[in-house]
Amino acid sequence: MPLPIPGALTYSLPPAIKPPEPGTRILVPVGRRNMVGICLGESGPGADENFTIRCAKRVLDPAPLLSKESLAFLKWISAYYFYPLGQTFAEALPPGFLSARDSGIIRILSGKSARGRSRFKTRGWDTEQGMVLTDQQRQALDRIKGCIEKKEYSPLLLHGVTGSGKTEIYLRAAAACLESGRSVLVMVPEIAMTAQITGWFTARFGEMVAVLHSGMTDAQRRDQWWNIRNGKCLLVIGTRSAIFAPVANPGLIIVDEEHDSSYKQTEKLRYNARDMALVLGRNSGATVVLGSATPSVASYWNALGGKYSLITLDRRVAGRKLPDITVVDRRCGKAGSDRTRSKKCNRGRWLTDELEQAIRQTLQRREQVLLFLNRRGFATYVFCPDCGYVFRCDNCDVTMTWHRSISPRGGAGKSGADPAGILRCHYCAAEKKALPVCPQCNGHAVKALGFGTEKIEKELREKFPGIITARIDRDTISSATRLEKIVRGFRQGDIDLVIGTQMITKGHDFPGLTLVGIIWADMSLNVPEFNAAEKTFQLITQVAGRAGRGKIPGRVIVQTWMADHYALQAAFRQDYRMFYRHEEALRKQLMYSPFSRMINLKLSGTRKDQVMKAGRRIADFAIGMQATNKKGLGEGVDILGPAPSPRARIKNRYRCQVLLKSQNISVLRALCRAVIDKAGELVPSSVRLETDVDPESMT
């Protein structure tokens, strides 16, 4: 059942109904209501000794909805991530599939959902089908095709610099797999990338392509799911949830931008779709290609250790060069590296003279510009200069961001909106009027500091009148269609300059883009995460790689206060191995992934004292299990905490965590299992306990 309970429920069937096969949906009574669950099979003898068996209402599927392979895969996911099996089914199935409403039952019985096939535009996304592969591309494709022909589990890491032609390899490998009679699953980390890659694959393979992502309507997702389940679509493209698509007999699984943290779900079932792609490939005997210009440290470590096969593309296609990078060191009196051109600049403005001049020259040549800043809004820090009061969210321990171009609880540009804008919390969406009277001293001199993408766009329009700009962040992108329109317009040359957050940094191919400006390269280095340097290197390298992918060479200008940091130095040189050597040494010293495994036990509640006490009881219990050393339980596991989360209160819930870390995954999981089994006694009902296996973030 899709309920937070650890096991299955047992029901009887009316005499006239034949027992359904595992994977079939059944309508059953639960308390005073009816619910839809998934049949796992018949219970064993004596299962009805301790409780009364209720009778099921109805079998809803003439044949199993979930295949044996899908059932086994979902059971594995449920066990690995310590998540209830019924709720795992609910996460995996499209919206409404476990609905007990009359309309849902009708839809279940009919097997129908949307009125027509979802169709995808291909205009503007065509690739060069007759293009000649480089020697490196051809060798990479031959290796992948050889693995597909073996029909055995073959994990490969395709490490190719930006612009090295990984997508063309994906297309041709998919063709080879389809010709062999097997299906293909292609995964991308964000909805922002689906339009482009769907266009390319649809142009090659037509109606056999299905798409799955959360930006589609519920009806579209159900429609696509049925097309995949019924064998109408043999090639599936999607974001992380596409890992649950009912792909029959997959022979090739592609995980593009495999390093991206968006593959990790951060609530409910906290799975990592990249890791699950490897499990699915192992179960089905498929070739799994992990592709990236900036592989995750764990994936590269696995490749060097022989767990994955490593394929390297270190040159761009058509002899195109990687972009020239200029580093603007914003520290006073500091010179740059002798291997990168560097200039000192005024640190009081977000736009330096070097970048402003480069933007002007690029626009005069009728070429395109991309500016990257991973911070949205107009100003990030609003305060009262009279008394020092800082405007923070009442529900979360974070400052509120000033937005000028969006109206309260609505989209951009609505008539009648307050011209001053609003203050908004980026965690709970709480809002306040901007710029308000200070609640502490009643002062009227409230000021705002900092800058985000909204402010940059406004000032650029004033500085370069007449240019066509677009902004890509969560405030402007209300739907996948809106994002696709901007991306397509920029690709076709209808937009001169784009300002964006990380939504625009990876995977996109813009032939006319010759200048990339990185406003604040080191912003993500100082967050409390063990992998902050890795994420920063990946972001900078990826966004720099958008420049110069057409016939005109590209240029990147990077503004930073930390030009000497190894992650930035490696990104400036486009040197992954340099970054990996530094990061590997630090990870090994501190025993972080991939040199250890981690499970984060996250607690939250409305009372801080209750949350911290529950965390203390969990930590004490785990330490006690270590002390007893029963069957080695907990031996070699570091127990860190309880400690308040870096963002200690979100949506009026206080948060703390207990981190378990060990080199022995079996011992680590056994200790975690013991804690979860005891949670009913350790954690009060007012406190929520969630388990994050292999966490990507500690916040």
Let me know if residue 3 belongs to a domain: no
When mean pLDDT is compared over 107-116, 343-352, 676-685, the highest value belongs to 676-685
CATH number of the domain that 183 lies in? Answer: 3.40.50.300
pLDDT tens track for 77-126: 999 999 999 999 999 999 889 987 755 565 555 555 444 444 455 455 55
Is pLDDT above 80 for 479?
no
Residues 534 and 643 in one domain: no
| Residue 72 Ramachandran class (φ > 0 left, ψ -120 to 50 alpha, else beta) | alpha
Alpha carbon of 563 to those of 11, 539, 607: distances in Å?
Answer: 65, 15, 43
Is pLDDT above 70 for 383?
yes
Element (H, E) at 409: none
Instruction: Give me 321's structure tokens.
Output: 């060069």
Let me know if residue 123 belongs to a domain: no
Residues 97 and 215 in one domain: no
Residue 638: what pLDDT? 94
Task: Tell me the residue type at 218.
Answer: D
The CA distance from 175 to 201, in Å, is: 10
Is pLDDT above 90 for 144?
yes
Residue where a domain stops, chosen among 554, 587, 620: 587
Dihedral (Cα; 541, 542, 545, 547), 10-degree rounding:
-110
DSSP-H helix ranges across 153-294: 166-179, 194-205, 218-229, 273-284
Domain hosting 22: range is: 11-110
How many domains does the structure of the chain reveal? 5
Let me know if residue 124 belongs to a domain: no
CB atoms within 10 A of CB 436: 15
Residues 493 and 347 in one domain: yes
Considering the chain, what percentage of its residues have pLDDT values greater than 70?
89
The CA distance from 73 to 275, in Å, is: 13
Is pLDDT above 60 for 447?
yes
Residues 212 and 313 in one domain: yes
Residues 254 and 174 in one domain: yes
Residues 573 and 460 in one domain: yes
Residue 613: what pLDDT? 97
Considering the chain, what percentage of its residues have pLDDT values greater than 90?
60
Lowest model confidence (mean pLDDT) among 4-8, 105-109, 387-391, 694-698: 105-109
Residues 145 and 260 in one domain: yes
Let me know if residue 592 belongs to a domain: no
| 3-state secondary structure at position 549 | coil
Alpha carbon of 156 to those of 51, 277, 360, 582: distances in Å?
Answer: 51, 12, 43, 24
Residues 282 and 358 in one domain: no
The CA distance from 408 to 405, in Å, is: 10
594 prior amide bond cis, ω within 30: yes
Q: Which residues make beta-bridge pairs with 264?
A: 272
- In terms of Cβ atoms closer than 10 Å to its own Cβ (0-12, 13-18, 19+), residue 175 is middle
Beta strands in 152-264 (DSSP E): 154-160, 183-187, 209-212, 235-238, 250-256
Residue where a domain stops, chosen among 587, 613, 648: 587
Residue 408: what pLDDT? 60
CATH number of the domain that 77 lies in? Answer: 3.40.1440.60
Residues 283 and 361 in one domain: no
Residue where a domain stops, chosen among 419, 450, 481: 450
Residues 462 and 550 in one domain: yes
pLDDT tens track for 268-320: 999 999 999 999 999 999 999 999 999 999 999 999 999 999 999 999 998 88
If you search the block for the tokens 């992998």, which residue do you land on? 531
Residues 295 and 167 in one domain: yes
Lowest model confidence (mean pLDDT) among 48-52, 377-381, 524-528: 48-52
Residues 405 and 278 in one domain: no
**469 and 499 in contact (C-beta within 8 Å)?**
yes
The CA distance from 220 to 198, in Å, is: 15
Task: Tell me the residue type at 356.
Answer: E
**184 and 238 in contact (C-beta within 8 Å)?**
no
Let me know if residue 5 belongs to a domain: no
Let me know if residue 6 belongs to a domain: no
- Average pLDDT across the chain, whole number: 87
Let me know if residue 130 belongs to a domain: no
Q: What is the mean pLDDT of residues 535-546?
A: 92
pLDDT tens track for 177-232: 999 999 999 999 988 788 889 889 999 999 899 999 888 888 899 999 999 999 99
Instruction: Give me 286's structure tokens.
Output: 């498929």
CATH number of the domain that 602 lies in? Answer: 3.30.70.600
Let me know if residue 118 belongs to a domain: no
Residue 334: what pLDDT? 52
Instruction: Give me 96's structure tokens.
Output: 């409404």
